[in-house]
Amino acid sequence: MSLDSATQVLAVRHGETDWNLAGRIQGHSDIGLNERGLWQAQRLADALADEVLAAIYCSDLSRAVQTAQPLAQRLGLPLRCDKGLRERSFGAFEGLHWAEIAAQWPEQSERWHRRDPLFAADGGESLQELHARVLSTAELLAKNHPGQQILLLAHGGVMDTLFRHATHAALDVSRSWELGHARINRLLRSDEGWRVIAWGDGRHLES
């Protein structure tokens, strides 16, 4: 594999929001960062200030944009927002807690929890649809930067999709890897496919 044509990809989930803290499903709901999330964004900028990035791509949702802004300003790079990097749409589930969903739609909740790849809440996306959207977007963005390094600032569902694809984990396999807020994940995209270099680095968030 030639590193001259490979793309190094930093993939980062947005910082914390109040809905994260309360356990509410966000999806496409446009929720901004809370105080801790804003602190995480600054710490992320500090951690990546010496990285050489060709581009910063982010979801167009506020929590992702707010997380990416401090680093973009530090490096003097524009933010390139892409709807393809949005979180999975959860439709009618958005804004609700897990217990409320289980009580109102027990059968749908069960399909969701066992990661049925074809299940989608009313007005939302299935795992298959999320997988196809995220990978199509990530492939296109990575291919535009051969031999360079880029940042994808997005959401937990996007991080999960990239990890599963790079490690060949099935969509319905229970997750054993972390999707922490503002943690740094490193992947490599080449003509041979995607692979994980390092995952879940949160040393910048320890203080």
- Residue 1: pLDDT over 70: no
The residue-averaged pLDDT of 41-55 equals 98
Q: How far is it, in rounded angstroms, from Cα 43 to Cα 47? A: 6
Q: What is the pLDDT of residue 100?
A: 96
Q: 3-state class of 108 per DSSP?
A: helix
Residue-wise pLDDT tens digits, 109-121: 999 999 999 999 9
- State the amino acid at position 195 in one-letter form: R
For residue 159, give the nearest of 122, 194, 190, 123 by alpha carbon: 194
Residue-wise pLDDT tens digits, 26-35: 999 999 999 9
Q: Within its chain, how far is the Cα of 146 from the centroid?
A: 21
Q: What is the pLDDT of residue 93?
A: 97
Q: State the pLDDT confidence band at 207, using cuts at 50, 70 and 90.
A: confident
Predicted TM-score of the model (pTM): 0.96
Q: Which of 14, 28, 155, 165 is catalytic?
A: 14
Residue-wise pLDDT tens digits, 101-154: 999 999 999 999 999 999 999 999 999 999 999 999 999 999 999 999 999 999
Burial class, 3, CB count within 10 angstroms (exposed 0-12 / middle 13-18 / buried 19+): exposed
Q: Which of 16, 87, 94, 125 is catalytic?
A: 87
Q: What is the pLDDT of residue 4?
A: 74
Is 45 within 8 Å of 71 (Cβ atoms)? yes
- Residue 3: pLDDT over 70: no
Q: What is the mean pLDDT of the chain?
A: 96
Residue-wise pLDDT tens digits, 186-196: 999 999 999 99
- Residue 86: pLDDT over 80: yes
Is 14 among the catalytic positions? Answer: yes
Is 152 within 8 Å of 141 (Cβ atoms)? yes
Q: Within its chain, how far is the Cα of 190 from the centroid?
A: 20
Is 68 within 8 Å of 120 (Cβ atoms)? no
- What's the DSSP call for residue 92? G
Burial class, 135, CB count within 10 angstroms (exposed 0-12 / middle 13-18 / buried 19+): middle
Superfamily designation of domain 7-205: Phosphoglycerate mutase-like (3.40.50.1240)
Q: What are the b/e assignments for 67-78, b being 16+ CB within 10 Å?
A: bbbbbbeebeee
- Residue 2: pLDDT over 60: no
Is 94 among the catalytic positions? Answer: no
CA atoms within 13 A of residue 170's CA, in its CB half-sphere: 8
